[in-house]
Amino acid sequence: MRIGVPKEIKVHEYRVGLVPAGVRELTARGHTVLVETGAGVGIGIADADYRAAGAEIATDAEEVFAKAELIVKVKEPQAEERKRLRENLVLFTYLHLAPDAEQTRDLVAGGATCIAYETVTSPKGGLPLLAPMSEVAGRMSIQAGAHCLEKEKGGRGVLLGGVPGVDPAKVVILGGGVVGSNAALVALGMGAEVVVLDRDIDVLRILVNQFGTRLKTAFSTHAAIETHIVNADVVVGGVLVPGAAAPKLVTEAMVRAMAPGSVVVDVAIDQGGCFETSRPTTHAEPTYIVGGVIHYCVANMPGAVARSSTFALTNATLPFVAALADKGVKRALADDRHLASGLNVHRGQITCAGVAEALDYPFVEPEKALAA
């Protein structure tokens, strides 16, 4: 199979779909890998490194999309990339379609087969291709929150961990999954007072067993959220409904009740965000203010640590890329129901229930769409 790796073009996105080790693995299996020139330069990987691993170097993205049968990316295709999609092309990347009607419309019109990293499942019920970036984003959320708390950035001027005789900052984390647990790890390590809210008591038990009684937990209700965030210095939104739009857990009124200079970090922004006041931002302009509260809502947070993120992502995606290339898309999806969970769009049909519901499209079971 001919596998294409274009250079990412989203603002300040330096990650890349495959590293040279992944290229070497695929070419050893007899596949051709076409990498756009400069695709890895943002993380210190030169064209020569890809060539040494067996890749061919394309002069531009147009060549990659035209020649490839399988496109492996990181971020959702941007408008100019979506124009290059066609039938019989397989796109494997993060999509986050539920809050993105424009992208969904273009993917449906393009006729390509689009498999989303974020909805591929695992036998244990997890999201193995979302997990590595959720780990990164969860840890980064505390770094971002601590930075935004600084007075120079418009924050309250509070040190996250405090000092002897001075209280630490209060960090409230919505959701105790991968994002939440990694945010708690860093926040506790920095000495903050940390509260995690979740609707699953078993999740809260696991967190207490992991971190001990230093971590405070609360069952997530509207009242509990309101009680805890009113006096929070940093609130991290880490709630995810796979494939669907994130629930709006924090109202605008709650945000406006927070102290001026406090910070919200909405890691769920890729799926629409879990604060009513959230809107996507970029690494170029990461924050804005509503009601005196700083909002950090960067939609590709792990892109800021692009090298670490790229290697972590390739470790997770490579087995699935190899399966798609070795078997072809139909057999690979038929053989692995967990990979099939990642199928969001196939030849103009929406095959992810969460996306169909969020954007009011007819839902077609993946098996039926592929059979047709």
What is the residue-level pLDDT of the chain in tens, covering all 372 positions? 999 999 999 988 999 999 999 999 999 999 999 999 999 999 999 999 999 999 999 999 999 999 999 999 999 999 999 999 999 999 999 999 999 999 999 999 999 999 999 999 999 889 999 999 999 999 999 999 999 999 999 999 999 999 999 999 999 999 999 999 999 999 999 999 999 999 999 999 999 999 999 999 999 999 999 999 999 999 999 998 887 889 999 999 999 999 999 999 999 999 999 999 999 999 999 999 999 999 999 998 999 999 999 999 999 999 999 999 999 999 999 999 999 999 999 999 999 999 999 999 999 999 999 998
* Exposure string over 66-76, b if 16+ CB within 10 A, otherwise e: eebbbbbbbbb
Residue 189: is it exposed, middle or buried by C-beta count within 10 angstroms (0-12/13-18/19+)? Answer: exposed
Tell me the DSSP string of 246-261: PP--B-HHHHHHSPTT
CA dihedral 172, 175, 181, 186 (to 10 degrees): -30
Residue 124 pLDDT? 87
What's the CA gap between 372 and 367, in Å, rounded? 9
End-to-end CA gap in the chain: 23
Which positions are annotated as active-site residues?
96, 270
Nearest one of 350, 287, 337 to 97, comparing CA atoms: 350
Pick the closest to residue 238 from 172, 186, 194 (CA basis). 172
pLDDT for the residue 335: 96
pLDDT value at position 244? 83
Q: How far, in Å, CA of 48 to CA of 61, rounded? A: 18
Burial class (CB in 10 A: 0-12, 13-18, 19+), 167: exposed
The predicted structure's pLDDT at residue 235 = 98
What pLDDT was estimated at residue 125?
85
Distances (CA, A) of 135 to 30, 183, 201, 302: 33, 8, 21, 9
According to the model, what pLDDT value does residue 232 have? 98
Backbone angles phi, psi at 74, to 5 degrees: -115, -60
Two structure tokens written together for 202: 């078993």
Q: How far apart, in whole angstroms, are the C-alpha atoms of residue 326 and residue 350? A: 25
Q: Is 138 helix (H, G, I), strand (E, B) or coil?
A: helix
